[in-house]
Structure 1
């Protein structure tokens, strides 16, 4: 395969992954904003607390979507590690996302429902960039391509034989 076609294949895979990530993420944004506005409307919670609750609900929704739709073909062998990393990186994304809202609300006094939704949406955007990178890099790890897997297995077999062959040789006697 030429370098150009290999690049084209990688870009095609990345664009499909990004589209699936966007579909799940888009629904997650609707869940996040919906829960946020419901909590703000029906409770007296402060804006950032309402946002944190909504973000946690959306994180749970997104995990299910990412695991069973976007990254369903990825390595599932270490689920505990996956879940732990997912929630660690999601918590960092939560801080990024709600940090924007916190700064707008308490730093600049922008607390109307419209302003809160605008800054919540901007925070979601910044958090999403971080989450996309961290989830695909650390959480939902790609399985090796079949060609790569064969090359790794061949190299491992060669390395396993090398020590045995070295012990069979007798030193030259002078």
Structure 2
């Protein structure tokens, strides 16, 4: 039970090498999720039939949702595998909330570009939504994944076994 001086969520300590490996994994998962997101957006808006051509913000939200599900699996089972929670349902809800924030960042940059600044070309849509928006959203996501979603809380960890030799003998 945490006391007032004990933090409820201890941070995982990492070496610089471990942090770089974690960032590389996060980048690989994110790169694939980006391909899913940007590819899906362009297919929906500019692909055959231009299914969501008049609704680019809706297309951005849909493509980002598909990419988000891919990213949860990749980050949970690979990037942050050592820090995943024992309660995947709770972790998924937190992951989805964080990604909703990241999706809002990307959608807001696209919306601002289109409806405030008046840029409506395919190039402008991709720069605003798929470069600036995704870039800002990625920074937001990494910080939240590391410190909010994949924390491996002490409450989630199985109790440590102590050997009989480590326990002081009381007579």
What displacement does 1:98 show?
A: 1.1
1:83 is matched with 92
Runs of 4+ in 1 over 4 A off after TM superposition: none
8 Å CA contact retained: 2:34, 2:67: yes
What TM-score do you get using the length of structure 2 for normalisation?
0.76
8 Å CA contact retained: 2:106, 2:134: yes
1:9-20 counterparts in 2 under 5 A? 10-20=15-25
Give the distance between the partners of 2:84 and 2:15, measured in 1 at CA.
18
8 Å CA contact retained: 1:96, 1:126: yes
- Compare relative contact order (CA 8 Å, sep 6+) and give the higher one, 1 or 2: 2
Unmatched tracts of structure 1, length 5 or more: 1-8, 166-174
1:17-166 counterparts in 2 under 5 A? 17-41=22-46, 42-43=50-51, 44-120=53-129, 121-142=131-152
> What secondary structure does 1:109 align onto?
coil
What displacement does 1:138 show?
A: 1.0
Q: How many residues align?
A: 145
Deviations 1:37-74 (A, max 9, x none): 00002313411111111111111111111112111222
> What secondary structure does 1:110 align onto?
coil
What displacement does 1:143 show?
A: 6.5
> What secondary structure does 1:73 align onto?
helix
> What secondary structure does 2:83 align onto?
coil
More helix by proportion, 1 or 2? Answer: 1
Give the distance between the partners of 2:23 and 2:54, measured in 1 at CA.
35
> What secondary structure does 2:77 align onto?
helix
Larger Rg: 1
8 Å CA contact retained: 2:95, 2:145: yes
Give the distance between the partners of 1:135 and 1:14, measured in 2 at CA.
13
Unmatched tracts of structure 2, length 5 or more: 1-13
8 Å CA contact retained: 1:39, 1:45: no
What is the root-mean-square deviation in Å for CA atoms of aligned residues?
Answer: 2.6
